[in-house]
Amino acid sequence: MTLRIEDYALIGDLGSAALVGRDGSIDWLCWPRFDSDACFSALLGTPDNGRWLIGCNDPDVRITRRYRPNTLILETRFETDTGSALLIDFMPPRQGDSHLMRILTCERGHIELHGELILRFGYGATVPWVTRIDSNTLRAIAGPDMVVLRSSAPFRDKDFKTSADFVMKEGQSYNFSLSYAPSHDGLPAALDVGASLAHTERYWQDWSARNQIDGPYTEAVVRSLITLKALTYAPTGGMVAAPTTSLPEWIGGVRNWDYRFCWLRDATLTLLALMNAGYYDEARAWRDWLLRAAAGSPNQIQIMYGIRGERRLSEWTVPWLDGYEKSQPVRIGNAAYHQLQLDIFGEVMDALHQARTGGLGHHEAGWDLECALLEHLETIWNQPDEGIWEVRGERQHFTYSKVMAWVAFDRAIKSAEMHNLPGPVAHWRSVRHRIFRDVCANGFDEELNSFTQYYGSKELDASLLLLPELGFLPPEDPRIKGTVEAVERHLMRDGLLLRYDTAKTDDGLPPGEGVFLACSFWLVDAYLMLGRADDAEALFNRLLALRNDLGLLSEQYEPRAGRQVGNFPQAFSHLALVNTASNLSHYRKPAEQRSERPVAGKEKSPKAAVPQAAG
């Protein structure tokens, strides 16, 4: 039986991550990096594509699970009429080789359990050559990859599968360690599993204790922050959007994308979440990753990069994997990396401005890069693009893209004035105002009383909810109120928001996806800015209730089936949760941090005559 997406848990070592099912099966693991080939691919195929199961065969088994408080250590408890056993899964924060560890202990009575290890490199395609080193050690090699199993329990090998049956009595315990190393190296070091568990627990509890966001939603915030930390590639500071690929936005559909990369549009939300929570080292590492990735010719800036800043993310499909619940194709890589998306210029400028304002310090090369990006943006801001949602269809003049071009020049002006940085500020004000007039003239529909998805369109887009937060117009502007109400009317499903109506978008793909969770958090923020505090709190609590039993969120939610869909867990959803919780807690408000309107050279009041399009 296929597990639901929310039936999985995340463990990781700040270099890669694994998904552990409620049944005790590790069904997804890319080694040695987030974006490496998977050696466990059962999530997108069958057990024969790779998994590591430690579970109970009793059909009446009762299974509960939790994370140890303020850690990424997973505890799964199996209970039967005869006894109970506890399975502990974790990956020690990486220092050299990568290790995945499991501890199985019988807590009461006696219980029968079963283990099965199937290693399949190359996304489930390659069967490794397995060698027994000694009675407790097994080595599997295929090409460049080597994995070593060390087990205190006896196991047997047959048909390139390693299995074991356990009849455990109270107090009995087994330790398992699975370690990765390049095949040309020697065997990875054998670590003490018990000591590694204690070290891992101390690491996460010490890290969690640094959180500075307090209030009624602390538990949800801390779990989200741990998740975001777990999605960070420690050597570079880059944060992947998710540790998975091709979990469908619609069960059985084709909107299945690879999210194991770093998107520039996450930059500002990431910085604000980390800085407001007190994680300045992580925020600085993300800022530095951003500058390295975006460095180069401004006309070659991309919307996303690899975790080390790689630029070539070529997309291909995996025909031997059936896909999650037959949702095909399974994609590796992401062809959207070569799209033109104007919003990322605003994201980069906003993120670097917030970094300076938030105390991360000045980066001389960063300002030079920003000035070069603005010089290029001035020549292309009035072109159509693919937009924030990476629509794979005809380019349009997306309203949000134009607003983010406005943001780019606005943040440059603010940075220059606040931090005494050199630049043609008067000229930037002129360009900023030209973009402002263009958006107000072409992106607003009088009949709908709302800004629209793209110029000349009657369609709505949830990204328009960010206009007041970005400072483009104040919340009290009637056009903002009208836009929020229009988005509610046209994009709300069961009290949650679509990002846009896929049935009305000509992107060359069949319609169908769940409600987009980050957009629903944006609606909470919009409610707060409009003074609708009760609506904001009610919607936020509804969103918290959609988390799985471990506090994790995917990209989307399907209300009719009552289940999570899309890649999991999703950084964008957890970033939105953290920032919205900050807005609600009145500690630090990301919405207010971003929304300060221009002072010097302020645009004309929006209550004046509607501006005309720039000539």
What confidence score (pLDDT) does residue 19 get?
98
Whether 230 and 177 share a structural domain: no
Whether 227 and 78 share a structural domain: no
Within-domain flag for 34: yes
Euclidean distance between CA atoms 591 and 603, whole angstroms: 20
Contact 122, 142 (CB under 8 A): yes
* CATH value at residue 31: 2.70.98.50
Of 604, 574, 612, the C-alpha closest to 266 is: 574
Task: Reduce the secondary structure of 232-283 to three states and give it as a string.
Answer: EECCCCEECCCCCECCCCCCCCCCCCECCCEEHHHHHHHHHHHHHCCCHHHH
Whether 173 and 230 share a structural domain: no
Strand segments, DSSP code E, in 355-495 are: 444-445, 450-451, 492-493
Domain extent at residue 176: 5-185+198-207
Whether 226 and 106 share a structural domain: no
Whether 100 and 228 share a structural domain: no
Whether 134 and 229 share a structural domain: no
What confidence score (pLDDT) does residue 595 get?
72
Within-domain flag for 278: no
Euclidean distance between CA atoms 6 and 513, whole angstroms: 17
Q: What is the radius of gyration, based on Cα positions, of the chain?
A: 25
Of 390, 438, 439, 416, the C-alpha closest to 599 is: 416
The predicted-structure confidence for 37-59, as pLDDT tens digits, reads as follows 999 999 999 999 999 999 998 99
Whether 139 and 227 share a structural domain: no
Within-domain flag for 268: no
Which residues are registered as beta bridge partners of 89? 74, 102
Cα 572 to Cα 269, 455, 553, 554, 577: the distances in Å are: 8, 27, 9, 9, 9
Under-50 pLDDT residues of the chain: 587, 598-615
What confidence score (pLDDT) does residue 605 get?
37
Whether 511 and 371 share a structural domain: yes
Within-domain flag for 33: yes
Euclidean distance between CA atoms 537 and 533, whole angstroms: 6
For residue 510, give the amino acid letter: P
Euclidean distance between CA atoms 338 and 340, whole angstroms: 7
What confidence score (pLDDT) does residue 612 get?
30
Helix, strand and coil in the chain, % to nearest 5: 35, 25, 40
Within-domain flag for 581: yes
Whether 393 and 523 share a structural domain: yes
Give the DSSP letter of residue 211. Answer: -
What confidence score (pLDDT) does residue 8 get?
98
What confidence score (pLDDT) does residue 392 get?
78
Long-range CB contacts (within 8 A, 24+) of 364-367: 365/291, 365/295, 366/291, 367/415, 367/421
Give the DSSP letter of residue 68. Answer: P
Contact 554, 227 (CB under 8 A): no
For residue 324, give the amino acid letter: Y
Euclidean distance between CA atoms 385 and 265, whole angstroms: 15
Within-domain flag for 398: yes
Within-domain flag for 216: no
* CATH value at residue 556: 1.50.10.10
Q: What's the total number of domains in the chain?
A: 2
Whether 96 and 156 share a structural domain: yes
3-state secondary structure of 180: strand
Contacts of 31 (CB under 8 A, 6+ apart): 16, 38, 39, 98, 145, 147, 180
Whether 391 and 459 share a structural domain: yes
Whether 126 and 228 share a structural domain: no
Within-domain flag for 262: no
